[in-house]
Structures are given as C-alpha cells and as structure tokens.
C-alpha cells in the first residue's frame, strides 16, 4: 500500500545508518513540495548523470564531469531560495547550495563505485574522499579540491579570521546528520510561512534534535495552525524535562491546545 512522503521519510530515518539511502531520503524531502512527485523517476535521473560521468570513474573524473562539463554550480545569486535544498531542482536547474550539491556528487559517484562522504564543516558543506584521506572537494565552488589547510582557509574566509578552527570540523558526517541539516536549511528558507509545517514534522522525527530546537520547531508548527499536533509534541517534551523549564513548556502546550478548541 502506498504511503505518504512523510510516512516514508520517517520510516527511513528509523533505519540503521548504513541502511539509510541518502538519495531516496533527500528526494522524499523534495516530494513534500511538489504534487504527484515520482521519487523513482528522479533516482533514474541520477543514474543518467552517473552514466554521463562513466568515462572517467574516479573522483577527479566525476567532479570534472559534473562541475565543468555539465555546469553544476553554487547558486550565489539566490542562496536562500528553497529550491536550492530540493535535490530534483538541483538536478534540473544545475544550481544549488553546498549540501545539496554535495549529496548530488556523493550519490552520482556512488553509482560508479567511487566512495565519497559528507563533511559538515560549520557554515559550509564539503565532500571527503574515502580513498584519499585529507583530500576534500568543494562542490559549491566548482568542485575545487582542497587539503585540510585549504579547508581552514575557506572556513576563515566564510566565518571571519577570528573564527576558531578545529580539525574536527573535517570529520565525516553521516546520512542522518546530512538530512537534518538539509531540513534545517529549509526551515530557515520557509520561516513560518508556506511549507513550514511539513518541514517541522520531518525535523521532529529526528530524536537527536536538541531540546531547544524541538521546542522552537513545535511552536513554529503551532503557528501554522496545527495546534493539537504541536501541543502534543510540547507535552511529550515537557515529560522529559524538569523544574521551571518543564512548566514553561507545559504552559505553551496548554495555550496551543486551547487555540485548537
């Protein structure tokens, strides 16, 4: 029996990390924004992109094919456009933000047996090369190859020279963390407007979402008119807390529930 994109996504993130398909889950996020979205057809589009890169099934070959020959690039003119966080739109429009371009690269390369991984550097997402430890790719800037020192330079250029650097920023980022970061970007793009409700529901499916963010996300969900649903989230959250903060959260749940009546 068919299930909704929300049900499918939430079921997927209950899987073990190694069983969680990044490409399918990323497309299920996008499915919420488009009627009659066919995830399988977009998976085939990724297959087609991989076939176009197959003449040089190496990291440098795939990167050159995608970011030079096929023209994928960072969307510097409209960075906050929510379409930049939708993998189907990135495939179609050939522009995106660092994390979606990274997902594209990782999943096209995987189809060719090239093992890459996400690197969630604060403020800027990169791709690490499994077979070349210490080598990284920046899909947003044309697929530029960087070593660890180059990543530090890029971090300082984006965050400011006084930002504290840590080599831990270059640790591999797992699939769950990639998906949550994609949703965090969408939450920023949508705010409390159109699309906010489904983004909230997907974010709340991650048990690792910090308490403060879970509370804020529930309140955003409530602001979309889902009063009973949001109050239920706050009730559950309050049960896990104690003291004044628990009472504050419970009071917010009561307030939202009253608006549902």
One-character DSSP codes across 75-118: --SSTT-GGGG-HHHHHHHSEE-HHHHHHHHHHHHHHTT--EEE
Encoded tokens for 89: 């739109």
Whose CA is closest to 85, among 96, 95, 74? 96
**29 close to 182: Cβ distance less than 8 angstroms:** yes
pLDDT beyond 60 at 102: yes
Encoded tokens for 215: 């509370």
Average pLDDT over residues 10-21: 96
Residue 146: band (very low, low, confident or very high) from pLDDT cuts 50, 70, 90: very high
Average pLDDT over residues 66-92: 97
* For the chain, percent of residues with pLDDT exceeding 70: 99
Average pLDDT over residues 109-118: 98
Please give the pLDDT value at position 3. Answer: 85
pLDDT beyond 80 at 194: no
Residue 2: band (very low, low, confident or very high) from pLDDT cuts 50, 70, 90: low
Please give the pLDDT value at position 17. Answer: 94
**129 close to 59: Cβ distance less than 8 angstroms:** yes
Other CB atoms within a 10 A radius of the CB of residue 16 amount to 6
Could you report the per-residue pLDDT of 239-261, keeping only the tens digit for each?
999 999 999 999 999 999 999 87
The C-alpha atoms of residue 79 and residue 85 are separated, in whole angstroms, by: 10
Please give the pLDDT value at position 261. Answer: 74
pLDDT beyond 80 at 80: yes
The C-alpha atoms of residue 221 and residue 199 are separated, in whole angstroms, by: 9
Please give the pLDDT value at position 161. Answer: 87
The C-alpha atoms of residue 163 and residue 176 are separated, in whole angstroms, by: 27
Encoded tokens for 16: 């073990």
**83 close to 113: Cβ distance less than 8 angstroms:** no
Could you report the per-residue pLDDT of 40-49, keeping only the tens digit for each?
999 999 999 9
Please give the pLDDT value at position 1. Answer: 44
The arrangement of strands across the sheet holding 172-173 comes to 144-146, 136-138, 126-129, 116-119, 172-173
Encoded tokens for 86: 């939708």
Record the pTM. Answer: 0.95
Could you report the per-residue pLDDT of 176-192, keeping only the tens digit for each?
999 999 999 999 999 87
Termini Cα distance of the chain:
34
Could you report the per-residue pLDDT of 204-232, keeping only the tens digit for each?
999 999 999 999 999 999 999 999 999 99
């Amino acid at each position: 029996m068919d299930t909704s994109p929300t049900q499918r996504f939430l079921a997927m993130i209950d899987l073990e990390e190694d069983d969680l398909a990044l490409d399918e889950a990323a497309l299920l996020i996008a499915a919420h924004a488009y009627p009659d979205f066919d995830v399988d057809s977009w998976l085939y589009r990724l297959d087609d992109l991989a076939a176009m890169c197959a003449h040089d099934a190496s990291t440098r070959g795939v990167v050159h094919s995608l970011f030079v020959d096929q023209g994928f690039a960072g969307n510097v003119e409209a960075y906050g456009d929510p379409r930049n966080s939708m993998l189907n739109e990135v495939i179609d429009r050939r522009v995106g933000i660092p994390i979606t371009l990274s997902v594209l690269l990782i999943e096209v390369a995987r189809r060719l047996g090239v093992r890459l991984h996400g690197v969630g550097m604060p403020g800027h997402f990169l791709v690490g090369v499994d077979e070349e430890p210490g080598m990284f790719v920046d899909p947003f800037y044309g697929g530029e190859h960087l070593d660890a020192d180059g990543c530090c330079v890029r971090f300082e250029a984006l965050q400011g020279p006084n930002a504290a650097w840590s080599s831990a920023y270059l640790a591999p980022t797992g699939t769950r963390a990639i998906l949550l970061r994609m949703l965090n970007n969408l939450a920023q793009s949508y705010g409390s407007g159109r699309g906010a409700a489904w983004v909230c529901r997907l974010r709340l499916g991650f048990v690792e979402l910090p308490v403060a963010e879970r509370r804020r996300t529930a309140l955003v969900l409530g602001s979309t008119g889902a009063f009973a649903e949001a109050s239920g989230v706050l009730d559950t959250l309050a049960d896990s807390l104690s003291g004044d903060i628990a009472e504050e959260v419970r009071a917010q749940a009561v307030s939202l529930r009253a608006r549902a009546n």
